[in-house]
Amino acid sequence: MDLKRSFLSGFIGGASLAFLGLKLHQYMKQQKSHVQKKNYSSEDEEQLLQEQLVRNIQFFGESQTKIENAHIMVFGVGGVGSHVVSAISRSGVKRITIIDFDRVTLSSLNRHAIATRKDVGKSKVEIFSDFIAQLNPTIKLTTVESYITPENVASFFLEGKPDYVIDCIDNIDAKIALITHCVQNQIKIIVCCGAGMKCDPTRLQIRDISESQNDDLARAIRMRLKKIDIRTGFNVVYSTEDTDRQLLPLQEHQKHDPDKYRVMPNYRLRIVPVFGCMPALFAYSLAAYVLCDIAGCAPTTLCQNDIKMPYFIQQIQLLAQQAKKNKVDLNLDIEDLVVIYKAYNGQCLVKNKKARPLEFIQFIKEQDITPNNVILLSTDEAKKHKEGKNIYTQIMLDRKQQYDQLIQENLGKRIVI
């Protein structure tokens, strides 16, 4: 009897909890629907955006307005491009145009910023409409489902020049067509190189295309553009990482007629192994550089191969010896040496051209060694300076003043904690 009563009591209690749970679920669903359907006034929307973007506003100050008023075009919204769109839309850009011909596949979910299983088979540009509307309804999003060719590339710019083009295309022919059009029409563009087969986040670089290295796609871009006399003028994001990974071989059924299986003519057929984190890292590097450039505070790009820590350690030790010998203070560190080196662009102050090796030399012996009391000289000029044999002309002194100003500007960008 007690067992029966206990079972009945438990059943009633469970049914009651289930009923309450159902009612709570219905209530929450109604509340969510109510929130989604609520129409905010323009004043309310402005207040919401101010709060939503408060950290950006705190970071960029008045320059946040430049970001919000910018028009950015993103070509290719797959693994890299999708994260770019997410980043710039979350940063307040109110006019975005995205272009891609492809559709979401199941295998792309390891690297796509917003796609889920329900989006498989849908157009890559189509799925952004709802995402943008939910994130920031004031954004004007233009979606173009199209493939880029030399013949149609100009048609994407009929409404005028955007503030920036971000190239996230993975096809070399389409990339060359887009880059060529932008360079020839003086449209700012930054280009993503190969994120596939890479895994080391410390190897990412942002440099002018002429200075890129150890990246197969960047090399192919340089070779193709060289034929039409474009050698410089835009930045690329690339990785200097060495990798043993290769394109996957064709499947057996593809080998006899590869062209039959291409998405587009001349489109790559062999699959690139992609570690899902890397496209996102490339994307946020692209977005960060573009947003800062629009705001007027683009970072000074620094190539990994420019920085040889043993060299700078040696130079700081030599400066410490100079300070001790001349009985002055050493008021700089290795990071300051990097800033000085970049300001001089690896050039000797006297010869006004690049030289190796370069020495960091105290300029005025009686003064403390500070970033503006250090010059870069080739070995032979450094020897003359130490012997007091160098004569610095007004041209050289003016050149040093320009370097000093650049050094101070870049030192001021460092965060002091």
Q: Does domain 51-295 fall into CATH 3.90.440.10?
A: no
Average pLDDT over residues 364-379: 94
Residue 258: its pLDDT value, please?
Answer: 44
Left, alpha or beta for 270 (phi > 0: left; psi -120 to 50: alpha)?
A: beta
| Domain ranges within the chain, ordered by starting residue | 51-295, 307-411
Model pLDDT for residues 41-63, shown as the tens digit of each residue: 778 888 999 999 999 999 999 99
Q: Quick one: pLDDT band at residue 39, thresholds 50, 70, 90?
A: low
Cβ atoms of residues 291 and 84 within 8 Å? no
Average pLDDT, the chain: 85
Q: Quick one: pLDDT band at residue 411, thresholds 50, 70, 90?
A: confident
Cβ partners under 8 Å of residue 166, min gap 6: 72, 73, 74, 75, 81, 84, 189, 190, 192, 286, 287, 290
CA distance 383 to 348: 13
The torsion angles phi and psi of 362, rounded to 5 degrees, stand at: -65, 125
Among 13-22, 268-277, 307-316, the least confident range = 13-22
Residue 25: its pLDDT value, please?
Answer: 55
Model pLDDT for residues 304-315, shown as the tens digit of each residue: 666 677 888 899
Say yes or no to pLDDT of 26 above 70.
no
Q: Quick one: pLDDT band at residue 12, thresholds 50, 70, 90?
A: low
Average pLDDT over residues 154-177: 95
Residue 333: its pLDDT value, please?
Answer: 83
